[in-house]
Amino acid sequence: MCGPGRPRLPRGPPPARPTAGYKLTRRAVSAASPPVVRAGGFPCPSEKPPLPLSMAEDLILERCDLELEANGRDHHTADLCQDRLVVRRGQPFWLKLHFEGRSYEAGVDTLTFSAVTGPAPSEEAGTKARFPLSDAVEEGAWTASVVDQQDGVLSLQLSTPATAPIGLYRLSLEASTGYQGSSFVLGHFTLLFNTWCPADAVYLDSEEERREYVLTQQGFIYQGSAKFIKSVPWNYGQFEDGILDTCLMLLDINPKFLKDSGRDCSRRSSPVYVGRVVSGMVNCNDDQGVLQGRWDNNYGDGVSPMFWIGSVDILRRWRDYGCQQVKYGQCWVFAAVACTVLRCLGIPTRVVTNYNSAHDQNSNLLIEYFRNEFGELQGDKSEMIWNFHCWVESWMTRPDLQPGYEGWQALDPTPQEKSEGTYCCGPVPVRAIKEGDLSTKYDAPFVFAEVNADVVDWIQQEDGSMHKSINHSLVVGLKISTKSVGRDEREDITHNYKYPEGSQEERDAFTRANHLNKLAEKEETGVAMRIRVAESMSMGSDFDVFAHITNDTAEDRACRLVLCARTVSYNGVLGPECGTKDLLGLALEPYSEKSIPLRILYEKYRDSLTQSNLIKVQGLLIEPAANSYVLAQRDIYLENPEIKIRVLGEPKQNRKLVAEVSMRNPLTVPLTGCSFTVEGAGLLREQKTVEIPDPVEPEEVVKVGGQVISNHDLHSSFCWYRWESGAQHLS
């Protein structure tokens, strides 16, 4: 049993509202009803001797108090228990039965409870439980026992198994005296996974981690590039109004439920199963899922993925429009919504970002690029290296796998490849990825490739032959990041996925994965190149990038350098050129270094920069005499102007706050059609947008103010603002 199991004294007079909004219903129970086991209680000091069964009056239940406040506090569900009972499995919860006429008598009355979930509850499937009032509390079973009795009020403790299916339950009571009795619906309650319970498959032994990965409603998602990591705040809002109902609705319209509801509800006892369902339902590629993905920068009939700042608005739109797909999402949006749903259901979950993430379609652990003699890509490319890619990790045991594979499991809701006929991915143990165990369920080869695939660039020469280039600048699987526990800082978790580069453990993992490309020796020519940039580059500025070339040999080298800068989406799709340079006669002296600049102008990238704010700079160094090609690449992230938030006055819980938001226009042109958007868990019931009526001139600071009410301590509540402009995009 988990959580507090202590007897409780009465907490004063019961509230006037019965049954948390549920009206008691009653039906007669005849002698033909199934026999029930008599249960003992304990007598009150003033209790009279029991009447003979033939003389006892019927036991009539007036109402049931589901103890919302106490249960919400004990089960860490206070935000969900405003008008309903939400509890976590494997942990006792409390209720009070108020009888009219006479009190419950242990030797006379028999109380039997029933808890059912799903449209076709079954004891065999674990979706129906019938259990008597008992003195003994049996571990791992549905039980009910007496805590206290005073006059006509019976205080009870109900316990649920730590393996019970999660979902909405109906709780009923059968009260019988002799061969007559009545049945009452006590109310409904929602059962969630319980990371505080050692017997639960999602148990975490760190209280700090439990609070971060289940209870925290805000966080950061990491974007940008491996060289310039950008933190983006996100409002998960898993305890906001209506989100729990929306998450349960998502489970109830998944294809497996529609095919066999009884089996689906039964399997909801497993976080492995629930995680896989959520992975498939967050995208809408083959069901009535939440989000439609789009990556072509044409978002006119929906919302740009860059404009979302939280999951709440997305899930509410999906629910309010009859489970119609919400337009549009990209990887971090899919991952963030999945994180909201899984945390809401009680599964510890975090969003992770992998930089230089490979999309390997044929599971050969190899991404090949074919380029012309100037380094330009030839033809369409479906296998790409994404600048970054986000998925989620959820904490759970894996009884279906060998020991040692419990813990963090990778789940990827972004629709990329099908898994067992459905666009979903995982859960797969992160440990299995690190060990190169690609036979592990689910989808280990795909996730392994995301962090370990090799990249080969082929250069087509004038005679049509292909020559392999050297590219040491692009390494797959860098700076794998997630938010730190209890702090607004980044934690690097690359070591969870990969052994140190060059270590024997890494080679062993590659051998197990049959990753022959990584095991091969790398070709060296003595000439190397890398792209260098200024420490920080901001939107609207002109700046220089440099091809830094070293010749570590004793020979003169006669080379050609082709430098090119192009806008790029975060998933690797290239846009127009915004800077080029072609040096035909570049002489490299022995043991020398050279730095060749390339100027990139705002007027060149202004109209083609995508909402990813990324520019890819590529250098191709050609040495005709040696038939040698050296390729170097770097993705540059352009910083948006800072949005400053200032709280005016002293913040106190449940008091109105005035917040001022400001931003400076860094561009050389006015901004028109601008707005700020704000949302925050525990601060605002819904997203709010403030329009800016006048143009914002260059270097002008625009300010807006507004009121919010903090329902929590201020340190645990955050506001997030998005800035939009019609003429220019800054988000």
Residue ranges of the annotated binding site for Ca(2+) are 452, 454, 501, 506
Question: Edge-to-edge strand order for the sheet containing 674-679?
Answer: 688-692, 674-679, 720-724
Query: Rounded to the nearest 10 degrees, what angle do helices 243-252 and 331-344 cross at?
Result: 100
Burial class (CB in 10 A: 0-12, 13-18, 19+), 679: buried
Q: Which residues lie closer than 8 Å to 532 by C-beta, 6 or more apart?
A: 545, 546, 547, 548, 595
Six-digit token pair at 86? 């939400």
Name the active-site residue from 65, 109, 360, 412. Answer: 412
Considering only CA atoms, which of 186, 122, 112 is closest in space to residue 143?
Answer: 112
Place of tokens 């060749």: 596
SS3 state of residue 407 = strand
Question: Edge-to-edge strand order for the sheet containing 527-533?
Answer: 527-533, 543-551, 592-600
| 3-state helix vs strand vs coil in the chain, percent to 5 | 15, 35, 45
Q: Is 472 a catalytic residue?
A: no
d(CA 254, CA 46): 55
For the chain, the residue count is 731
> In degrees rounded to 5, what are phi and psi of residue 84?
-155, 165
Query: Rounded to the nearest 10 degrees, what angle do helices 271-281 and 331-344 cross at?
Result: 140
> In degrees rounded to 5, what are phi and psi of residue 383?
-85, 120
Q: Residue by residue, what is the 3-state secondary structure of 72-124?
A: HHHCCCCCCCCCCEEEECCCCEEEEEEEECCCCCCCCEEEEEEEEECCCCCCC
Task: Find out whether 411 and 426 touch, Cβ atoms under 8 Å.
Answer: yes
CA dihedral 667, 673, 674, 676 (to 10 degrees): -160
Name the active-site residue from 247, 284, 331, 425. Answer: 331
Q: Is 515 a catalytic residue?
A: no
DSSP letter, residue 391: E
DSSP letter, residue 486: T
d(CA 172, CA 731): 52
Place of tokens 């998960």: 236
Task: Find out whether 433 and 391 touch, Cβ atoms under 8 Å.
Answer: no
d(CA 256, CA 652): 47
Helices (H), 573-660: 602-605
Considering only CA atoms, which of 671, 569, 564 is closest in space to residue 610?
Answer: 569
d(CA 113, CA 697): 69
Binding residues: 452, 454, 501, 506
Task: Find out whether 579 and 533 touch, Cβ atoms under 8 Å.
Answer: no
Q: Residue by residue, what is the 3-state secondary structure of 141-206?
A: CCEEEEEEEECCEEEEEEECCCCCCCEEEEEEEEEEECCEEEEEEEEEEEEECCCCCCCCCCCCCC
Query: Rounded to the nearest 10 degrees, what angle do helices 331-344 and 312-320 cross at?
Result: 80
Q: b/e map of 403-413 (b: 16 or more CB within 10 Å)?
A: eebbbbbbbbb
d(CA 67, CA 71): 6
How far are the Cα atoms of 228, 428, 532, 636, 638 from residue 535, in angstroms, in the given order?
A: 9, 37, 9, 10, 11
Burial class (CB in 10 A: 0-12, 13-18, 19+), 311: buried
SS3 state of residue 489 = coil
Place of tokens 């700076």: 479
Q: Is 715 a catalytic residue?
A: no
Name the active-site residue from 75, 359, 389, 729. Answer: 389
Sign of the alpha-carbon torsion through 511, 517, 522, 523: positive
Q: Which residues belong to the active site?
A: 331, 389, 412
